[in-house]
């Protein structure tokens, strides 16, 4: 039965995560950055030192870069191939939740939890974005669920395998996004042992052999890259771990409550049942806590990561993704119990789903009038479909629940999420205002092997991917500042005086600039500028007349 469920879930989720995967251009800056680094690895064959625009880039470890580089080598460089990594990892995360939920709470909980996670808005959105948040979230999920599964097993081979899986996945998480790969599991497990008094587990966790597994995975790259780059440790550990968390050095400051609406929106539509699920998971009294060890573990997992990031001075929406898997399991268990025990409750949940859907529909309906820059006329048909899906789906689910058809009501909720998110995926390519793909294609038609591409006071991070070459950058340092300070990059990281010297030379130059900068540049006397292409935000100029 479990194998059949696994196969059906895999097929459904593979289709869901794969649909329209390569339909939109790379977004900037993140997708451009996290494709360009592995692209440069493939070209340079340097798998040790990550580089962005040929400049040392130590902000993150390399595991995800290696995965992306492997996909580029296997399938070529395309939007589909580079988005395949996050999609496959998202699929693996859902299957891990299914497996754990089935073993801990029963078959129906496993199925529900996997579907809830897959159809949560934030999880689905990040399954199609090339960032590090989905990989590290999935690896943390696999590590923590492996540990929890091990605690439920009697002494023997299976328990040892689960504990070894915990250490291995934690090591891979460290190799994906740094110290949180071990800090989060350690923080959650310690707190759980403190609450439940399960200290005896320390004797059976195979700490020695587990540490060997963990360090064998996590340590070699850190040691080798540190030996090859003496400046690595200070930047990577001090600045990118401690200063990023404790200060506003990256200018991502948000208030303490920032992640509350993010979690509620990110779990939609299942956040409608979140409060009831959490309340149901809590033990009635302190004495009962040991009878709720698994749900307490999931609650601590979600709560501690939520509080950790809420306390940080640096906040971005994707950071909170690791709280979704435990919440999906708690909601899945709550809803599965309701179906199996024939509960007629859940009124608050379905009412909340109805209200939330109505509010989102109103916002979508007002978008073309309030924010025409975000919702141009091209997406009007998609907005109408989204509104219709939300209205009919939420009302249909509410009506089915009202008539005591709980399982069909939950199926209608999931179908609403699938149709809504698929429509959003179809609409997004129509509003990719920041993409420079069209400009890259225009340059590529004209580009010769000796031509130079220059970015003026900016770094357009998707252009090097589409043009498959290093860019020359004028008067901009940004995230490349550290690498520029330790290497000689004067050949391609230049000032304006050097730009105009090259502009007058025999070599053809394509200059990418913001619209305001381009207007100012064209007023400079004594220099010729030829317009090649432009979009809403960016202009491409050349020093040579277009021969086409």
User: What is the SS3 assignment for 495-532?
Assistant: CHHHHHHHHCCCCCEEEEEEHHHHHHHCCCCCCCCEEE
- Residue 273 to residue 327: CA distance in whole angstroms: 10
In 39-193, the DSSP E strands lie at 51-52, 55-56
The token duo for 148 is 């929890």
Whether residue 521 has pLDDT greater than 80: yes
- Region of residue 155 (phi > 0: left; psi between -120 and 50: alpha; otherwise: beta): beta
- Residue 100 to residue 232: CA distance in whole angstroms: 38
CA distances from 27 to 110, 117, 327, 428 (A): 34, 24, 29, 11
CA distances from 384 to 16, 378, 397 (A): 21, 12, 20
- Residue 323 to residue 342: CA distance in whole angstroms: 29
Query: Average pLDDT, stretch 140-162?
Result: 95
* Closest to 58 measured CA to CA, from 485, 470, 472: 485
Whether residue 373 has pLDDT greater than 90: no
What is the structure's pLDDT at 290?
Answer: 81
Confidence of residue 39 (pLDDT cuts 50, 70, 90): very high
Contacts of 255 (CB under 8 A, 6+ apart): none
What is the structure's pLDDT at 240?
Answer: 73
How large is the greatest C-alpha to C-alpha distance in the chain, in angstroms? 84
The token duo for 296 is 């307490």
Give the pLDDT confidence of 41-65 residue by residue, as tens digits. Answer: 999 999 999 999 999 999 999 999 9
The token duo for 353 is 């789903």
Measure CA of the first residue to CA of the last residue in the chain; give whole Å.
64
Whether residue 248 has pLDDT greater than 60: no
Across 249-258, 334-343, 428-437, least confident range = 249-258
Residue 388: count of CB within 10 angstroms of its CB: 14
Q: What is the pTM of this model?
A: 0.94
Confidence of residue 269 (pLDDT cuts 50, 70, 90): very high
The token duo for 256 is 């303490």
- Residue 266 to residue 264: CA distance in whole angstroms: 6
């Amino acid at each position: 039965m479990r194998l059949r469920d696994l196969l059906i879930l895999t097929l459904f989720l593979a289709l869901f995560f794969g649909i329209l995967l390569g339909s939109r251009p790379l977004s900037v800056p993140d997708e451009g950055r996290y494709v360009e680094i592995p692209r440069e690895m493939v070209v340079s064959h340097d798998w040790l030192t990550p580089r962005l625009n040929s400049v040392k880039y130590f902000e993150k470890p390399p595991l995800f870069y290696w995965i992306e580089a492997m996909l580029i080598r296997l399938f070529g460089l395309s939007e589909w191939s580079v988005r395949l990594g996050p999609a496959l990892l998202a699929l693996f995360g859902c299957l891990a939740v299914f497996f754990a939920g089935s073993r801990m709470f029963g078959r129906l909980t496993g199925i529900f939890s996997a579907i809830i996670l897959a159809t949560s808005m934030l999880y689905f959105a990040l399954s199609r974005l090339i960032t590090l948040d989905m990989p590290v979230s999935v690896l943390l999920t696999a590590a923590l669920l492996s540990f929890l599964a091990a605690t439920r097993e009697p002494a023997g081979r299976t328990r040892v395998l689960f504990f070894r899986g915990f250490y291995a996945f934690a090591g891979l998480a460290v190799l994906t996004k740094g110290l949180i790969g071990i800090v989060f599991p350690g923080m959650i497990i310690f707190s759980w042992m403190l609450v439940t008094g399960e200290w005896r587990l320390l004797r059976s966790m195979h700490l020695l052999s587990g540490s060997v597994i963990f360090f064998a995975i996590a340590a070699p790259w850190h040691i080798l890259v540190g030996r090859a780059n003496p400046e690595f440790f200070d930047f990577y550990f001090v600045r990118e771990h401690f200063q990023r968390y404790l200060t506003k050095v990256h200018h991502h400051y948000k208030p303490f409550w920032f992640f509350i609406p993010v979690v509620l929106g990110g779990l939609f539509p299942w956040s409608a049942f979140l409060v009831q699920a959490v309340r149901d998971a809590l033990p009635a009294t302190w004495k009962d806590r040991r009878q709720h060890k698994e749900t307490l573990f999931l609650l601590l997992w979600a709560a501690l990561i939520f509080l950790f990031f809420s306390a940080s001075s640096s906040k971005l929406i994707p950071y909170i993704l690791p709280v979704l898997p435990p919440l999906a399991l708690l909601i899945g268990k709550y809803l599965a119990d309701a179906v199996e025990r024939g509960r007629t409750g859940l009124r608050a949940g379905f009412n909340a789903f109805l209200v939330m859907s109505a509010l989102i529909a109103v916002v979508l309906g007002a978008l073309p009038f309030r924010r025409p820059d975000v919702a141009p006329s091209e997406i009007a048909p998609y907005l109408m479909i989204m509104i219709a899906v939300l209205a009919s789906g939420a009302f249909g689910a509410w009506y089915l629940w009202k008539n005591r058809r709980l399982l069909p009501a939950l199926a209608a909720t999931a179908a609403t999420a699938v149709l809504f998110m698929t429509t959003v995926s179809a609409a997004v390519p129509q509003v990719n205002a920041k993409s420079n793909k069209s400009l890259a294609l225009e340059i590529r038609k004209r580009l010769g092997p000796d031509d130079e591409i220059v970015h003026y006071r900016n770094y357009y991070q998707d252009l090097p991917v589409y043009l498959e070459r290093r860019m020359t950058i004028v008067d901009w340092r940004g995230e490349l500042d550290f690498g520029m300070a330790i290497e000689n990059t004067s050949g391609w990281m230049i000032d304006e005086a050097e730009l105009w010297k090259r502009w007058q030379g025999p070599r053809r130059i394509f200059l990418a600039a913001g619209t305001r900068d381009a207007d100012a540049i064209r007023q400079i006397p004594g220099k010729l500028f030829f317009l090649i292409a432009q979009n809403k935000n960016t202009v491409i100029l050349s020093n040579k007349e277009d021969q086409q």
